[in-house]
Amino acid sequence: MSVALAENVASQIQRIFPSELKENYFMKDQSKQPKGKIYCKYFNTIRTLKTSGLITKNTNKRQMIKSSNSNVFSRWDSNNYKPEEDINLVLNQIRHGNCNLPDLERHWSATVNYRLNTIKKATSTQEIIKEWPSYMIPMGYKLIDIDFKALYPNCFNILGNYEVKLEKMFGALMTKVKYFNCRNMLTSLTDIENPSENVKQAVTFYLLHSIFVPTSKKVTIDDRGKKNIVKYSIKDSQNTFIVFCNTLTLAEEYITNHNHLKLPIQPFILIVGTPLESKEIIVYFDSIKFKVFTVIIAIDLCFKIFHLFNLEYPIQSGAVWLFIQKYLYSIKTKFDKSHPNLNQIIYDLENNL
């Protein structure tokens, strides 16, 4: 069975039965083998026939499963942006930082295509930030927003329309969260009379990780050459998404310790306080700290950084970020990875099931 045939059958099933999800029958990750009911049924049948001796010829898997176009990760490498003309003077003003914020925003919008092309060619975030240091200013998130809107002009604006979707997400948590500590946090929230929007947002997004439990594993080799398999936990997923510290000093220590590990730090949210009482909200990325005032703005900024700077989601919390991408922003890409039940949950939320 070819990949094209399996996908075609899955598409026909969805066309005949609109309530069925295509992803349940066929799913293909970038550079990975296909999954889904059709492939499972096919290979199980072939295995049974081989065991019973009804099939003797070996199947060449290389002929059956064709690899994807490329193993290189890039969310938007197929897009070309026609650079603006006669912008040298504007570029000089941007790069030398001799303009106020309103002028900077105007100049930034006037050079967005040129900049997206340079980001596309860059090999690291450090290279991008060196070329465009204005990203590092305290209001740099406004510049990120300008570029992201050029990248995804038809993207759903969650900052103006998140309430209904957030309410549906919270309803899903009430029925799907099973883990003891997570249930306790939900109970604590419902016990609060008139909780603030920040509290509801923090708890909702923090507990999403208990629905989209990590399935990825990491293989490590110790000094004796022994392989160890580490399975990521809900807490691992949460810690690459939102980190809570009781004081600003502890938050700074957390960032310092992270930097000492000399590992690439993907965007994450750092909250001084607890899920039920946030004092400060900071988005941290590659030595840059953006202070924002709501959890939903922090999530919006993190998401846009991932896409603008062409970064992969953390493997621990990838399913949660993919849910945010698909459900809140209505963005789908050919690089989206599969996760058990993710598409089904989105379907249920969108259809009020």
28 contacts 39 by C-beta, under 8 angstroms = no
Q: In the structure encoding, which two tokens stand for residue 220, read together?
A: 């490590």
First vs last C-alpha separation in the chain: 34
At which residue do the structure tokens 């003309």 appear? Answer: 85
Question: Is the Cα torsion angle 177, 180, 185, 186 positive or negative in sign?
Answer: positive
Cα–Cα distance between 259 and 267 in angstroms, integer?
13
Burial level of 135, CB count in 10 A (0-12/13-18/19+)?
Answer: buried
Total-model pTM: 0.77
Give the single-character DSSP code of 27. B
Residues 173/208, Cβ–Cβ less than 8 Å: yes
State both tokens at 255: 């960032």
Closest CA to 304 of 183, 151, 197: 151
Alpha-carbon gap, residue 208 to 237, rounded angstroms = 10
- Alpha helices by DSSP H, listed for the chain, are 3-16, 22-25, 37-51, 61-64, 88-95, 101-110, 112-121, 125-131, 140-151, 158-161, 163-176, 180-191, 197-207, 234-239, 248-260, 295-308, 318-323, 342-350
How does pLDDT run along the chain (353 residues), one tens digit per residue? Answer: 676 677 777 777 767 777 676 667 766 665 566 667 776 676 667 766 666 656 665 544 433 333 333 333 445 555 667 778 888 888 888 888 678 899 999 999 999 999 999 998 888 888 999 999 999 999 999 999 999 999 998 888 888 778 889 999 999 999 998 888 899 999 999 898 888 999 999 999 999 999 998 887 777 777 777 888 888 899 999 999 999 998 888 888 887 877 776 666 689 999 999 999 889 999 998 888 999 999 999 999 999 999 999 898 999 999 999 999 999 999 988 888 878 788 889 988 988 87
